[in-house]
Amino acid sequence: MPWCRRRKLPVMAYSPIEQGRLLGHRALAEIAARHRATPAQVALAWLTAIGGIGVKTASIVLLFCFGIPFMPVDRHVERVSKRLGLVPAKSTPDDAHEIYGHLLPPERIYEAHVNLITHGRRLCHALRPEHERCPLIDRCRFV
C-alpha cells in the first residue's frame, strides 16, 4: 500500500476527507502547542486571518470538518435567534457567534445549528414566516 511520505499515513486506507481530517487535527495540535492556546482558538484565528474567510466560514469548517464546536451564524440562524430572543435584536452575526459560545454547551452546538437553520429555511422566512405552522410561536417576538 502506498504511503504519504510527509506524514507517514497509508494513502489508500483513508478517504480523502478522512486524510484531511487526520492531517488537520495533527496540524491543529502542533500549532496549539506552539502558541499555548486551545486548538479551537488557534484554528479560528488562523482561518480568519486568511483573506475572504470570516467567522461564519471558519465556524462552518471547524464544526462540520473537524467537529470543533463553533456556532456558524448565517441569515437563517441569526433571524430565528433574534425572533426567539436567544440573542439581542441589535446584535451582529459576529456578536451572535460569541453569545452562542457562552449560551450552549459544546456538545449541543451542532444540533442547535442544524435545528435553527432548518427552522429558518422551512418556517421562519424573512418576509412571510409561517406562524400558523410554527411550534415556537409562543416564544416568537416577531408576531
Neighbours of 5 (CB within 10 A): 8
Distance CA 55, CA 99 (A): 13
Q: Is 97 exposed, middle or buried (0-12, 13-18, 19+ CB in 10 A)?
A: buried
Rama region for 107: left / alpha / beta (φ>0; ψ in -120 to 50; rest): alpha
Distance CA 113, CA 59 (A): 11
- Residue 94 designated active-site: no
Residue length of the chain: 143
- Residue 56 designated active-site: yes
Q: Given 8, 56, 94, 95, which residue is catalytic?
A: 56
Q: Given 74, 82, 94, 138, which residue is catalytic?
A: 74
**Catalytic residue IDs:** 56, 74
